[in-house]
Amino acid sequence: MWFNILASRNTSSMKRIGLEKRDILAAKMTAEQIAEAQRLAREWDEAHPREP
């Protein structure tokens, strides 16, 4: 969840780090765990809108 949020809300090196860490963890997770993390990230993102 948190690495998805990091990747979606940043640019350049922080985005790259988020994507790399997310992929490392996802390789150790089940499909159900990945789906749950994605759902939680979407819910968190919707509850915490970005400032313009």
Domain ranges for the chain: 2-47
How crowded is residue 22: how many other Cβ atoms within 10 Å of its Cβ? 20
- Which pLDDT score, from 0 to 100, does residue 43 have? 96
Q: Distance between CA 4 and CA 6 in Å, rounded?
A: 5
Q: Which residues 6+ apart lie within 8 Å of 14 measured at CB?
A: 6
Averaged pLDDT of the chain? 92
How crowded is residue 4: how many other Cβ atoms within 10 Å of its Cβ? 20
- Which pLDDT score, from 0 to 100, does residue 29 have? 97
Read off the pLDDT band of 35 (50, 70, 90).
very high
Asked if the model's pLDDT at residue 30 lies above 90, the reply is yes
User: What pTM was estimated for this model as a whole?
Assistant: 0.80
